[in-house]
Homo-oligomer: A and B are copies of this chain.
Amino acid sequence: VPAAYNLGVTRGLLRADDLAFLDARRVAHLATADAAGHPHVVPVCFVHLDGRLYVPIDAKPKRAAPSALRRLTNVRERPEAALLVDHYDEDWRRLRWLLIRAQALVLVEGDERDQALRALERRYPQYAAMGLAALGLPVIALRPTAVRRWSASP
């Protein structure tokens, strides 16, 4: 178990079984809201590192400039988010989800952003292939404040 995992567990929110579930899922759903409270949700790639989660603004083609993406403007207006990681299965006894409420901030530079980008490249070969870490894009950092877990079969 890497030291970073132990730190995450020590911080008391994400347990070892949560981290194993996070590792097994490739996509999560990030909910944010703007200053007025209008809710928004997008599918995101993510990585966890040292008790935090990181969501990149990647180089997939978007209509808007990265800085204008709703998820970024929302986090700047209201620095919080809810990240949901779930497994859907037609056998509903296998349904499971993990909801992480978090403080959110946008990292536009610095060591933490760079480490997160490298971790994202390790987790997603697609990011490594596009050279994500060299693109100078921001990352959303999520510091968990509360975790809820649900599974159909305890």
A interface residues, Cβ below 8 angstroms from B:
26-27, 29-33, 35-43, 60-63, 78, 80-84, 86, 88, 90, 92, 95, 97, 99, 101, 126, 150, 152
A60 interface neighbour in B27, B81, B95, Cβ under 8 Å: B95
Chain B residue contacts of A78, Cβ below 8 A: 37, 39
Can you spell out 12 A-B residue pairs with CB atoms less than 8 angstroms apart? A29-B29, A30-B41, A31-B39, A31-B82, A33-B39, A35-B37, A37-B37, A39-B39, A39-B40, A41-B99, A42-B97, A60-B95
A78, A82, A88, A150: most-surrounded residue (chain B CB, <10 A)? A82
Q: Is the CB of B26 within 8 A of A90?
A: yes
Contacts of A62 in B (CB 8 A): 150
Given known A42-B99, A60-B152, A97-B43, contact A88–B26 (CB-CB < 8 A): yes
Bound CA span A35–B29, Å? 21
Closest chain-B Cβ to A25's Cβ sits at a distance in Å of 9
